[in-house]
Every structure is written in C-alpha cells, then in structure tokens.
Amino acid sequence: MKRARFRPAKDRNGAPAFFVRRERINFVADETLAGEYKNEDADIVISLPDVPQNNSYMTEVLLTMADDGTLSDCAIRQSNAAPALDKLACEVASSPQIAAPIRDGNGNTVPGIRNYYVGYSNAPTVGAISR
C-alpha cells in the first residue's frame, strides 16, 4: 500500500508554513434590518452603505503569519470585488482582533497562513470590529 503524499504548505514567497488554518468569524447582519446579508460563505462581513443590496462580492484573503507571531503579508487570492474593497478587506483582516498569532499545541508561535472569505453588506452588522 502506498502512502499518501502531501505537498507542504507554503506562503506566496515559497517559504514553508507550519499549517494553513481556516477559521470562521461571522459578523452577520441583524436579521431585523432591511438588506440583511445572506452570503453564508463569508467569514468576515464588512458593512458599507455604498454596496448594492444582496450583492455577491467576495474577496479571498490570505494572511501569512511569521514564526514570531507577527503578520508578514496580506494577499488577495481571488476576488470579484473592486480593488478598493480588496484593499479594505486586507485592512480589516489584518486587524489585531483577527490576525492573532498562530500557536502550536505547546502555545509557541509558528508560521502559518490564515484564509478568510470577506463579504460585503449595506446593512449594519452585529459584532463588527470598528476602526
């Protein structure tokens, strides 16, 4: 029986990463408000008054975390949103509340990649991080 072969995780510069971690951070629009956000694939929802109601804009953000626990890079992997929204997605995902260090089982910081899908709503969101 052959062993399965896995390609090691690497950041966009080709440096090895300890692991790739995908988390869900749901900031869901208040259900009582008009224009509630319905895209269930989003990990982070950014509320902006200028985006169309029931839009399908989505930005995939990759955060590369260094071995000392700091954020070393924010990259847009895929997007159907405007470049200004992509820039805002990186800014929000890079905030200290979201881009926390990645730790191994012993509590030591390790290099890794965080992956988030960012959606956009024109309704106020609940639990949002304010800037």
Please report, for the chain, the start and end positions of each structural domain, with discontinuous segments joined by +. 19-121
Distances (CA, A) of 33 to 28, 47, 52: 11, 12, 15
What span, in angstroms and rounded, lies between the C-alpha atoms of 44 and 24?
8
Q: What is the pLDDT of residue 31?
A: 45
**C-alpha of 97 from chain center:** 12
pLDDT in tens, 96-116: 888 888 888 898 998 888 888
What span, in angstroms and rounded, lies between the C-alpha atoms of 26 and 20?
19
What span, in angstroms and rounded, lies between the C-alpha atoms of 29 and 53?
12
pLDDT in tens, 65-104: 888 989 999 999 999 888 999 999 999 889 888 888 888 8
- pLDDT of 34 above 50: no
